[in-house]
Amino acid sequence: MCELLGMSANVPTDIVFSFTGLMQRGGRTGPHKDGWGIAFYEGRGLRLFQDPVASCESEVAKMVQHYLIKSEVVIGHIRHANVGRVTLANTHPFTRELWGQYWCFAHNGQLSDFEPSGSFYRAVGETDSEAAFCDLLNRIRSDFPERVEAEALLPTLLAACRHYRSKGVFNCLLSNGEWLFSFCSTKLAQITRRAPFGPAQLKDAELTVDFQAETTPRDVVTVLATEPLTDNECWTIHEPGQWSLWRRGECVAQGRDAAC
> Which residues of the chain form contacts with a copy of itself (CB under 8 A)?
42-48, 50, 52, 59-60, 63, 66-67, 87-91, 96-97, 99-102, 119-125, 145
Alpha carbon distances (Å) from 223 to 121, 141, 160, 229, 250: 29, 28, 24, 9, 11
- Identify the active-site residue in 2, 56, 134, 184: 2
Which residue lies nearer to a copy of itself by CB, 96 or 139? Answer: 96
Question: Could you write out the DSSP letters of every residue in 4-72?
Answer: EEEEEEEEEEE-HHHHHHHHHHBTTSSB--S-EEEEEEETTEEEEEEESS-GGG-HHHHHHHHH--EEE
Q: Which residues pair with 230 in a beta bridge?
A: 202
State the minimum distance, in angstroms, from the CB of residue 98 to a copy of itself: 8
**Separation CA 190–CA 245 (nearest Å):** 12
How do beta strands 220-225 and 189-194 pair? antiparallel
Cβ proximity of 203 and 225 under 8 Å: no
Minimum CB distance to a copy of itself, residue 119 (Å): 8
Q: How far is the CB of 78 from a copy of itself (least distance, A)?
A: 17
CA 65 to chain centre: 18
Count of beta carbons in the 10 Å neighbourhood of residue 187: 18
In the complex, what is the shortest distance from the CB of residue 194 to a copy of itself, in angstroms, rounded to a whole number?
Answer: 28
Distance separating alpha carbons of residues 113 and 105, to the nearest angstrom: 21
Choose between 105 and 243: whose C-beta lies nearer to a copy of itself: 105
Name the residue nearer to a copy of itself (CB basis): 49 or 167. 49
In terms of CB distance, is 123 or 188 closer to a copy of itself? 123
Q: Nearer to a copy of itself by C-beta: 47 or 194?
A: 47
* Ramachandran sector of residue 221 (left: φ over 0; alpha: ψ -120 to 50; beta: rest): beta
CB of 203 to a copy of itself, least distance (A): 28
How many CB atoms are closer than 10 A to CB 130? 26
Find residue 3's DSSP bridge partners. 78
Contact status, residue 168 vs residue 109, Cβ threshold 8 Å:
yes
Residue 122 CB, nearest approach to a copy of itself (Å):
4
2 is catalytic: yes
Q: Which is nearer to a copy of itself, 37 or 241 (CB)?
A: 37
Residue numbers annotated as active site: 2
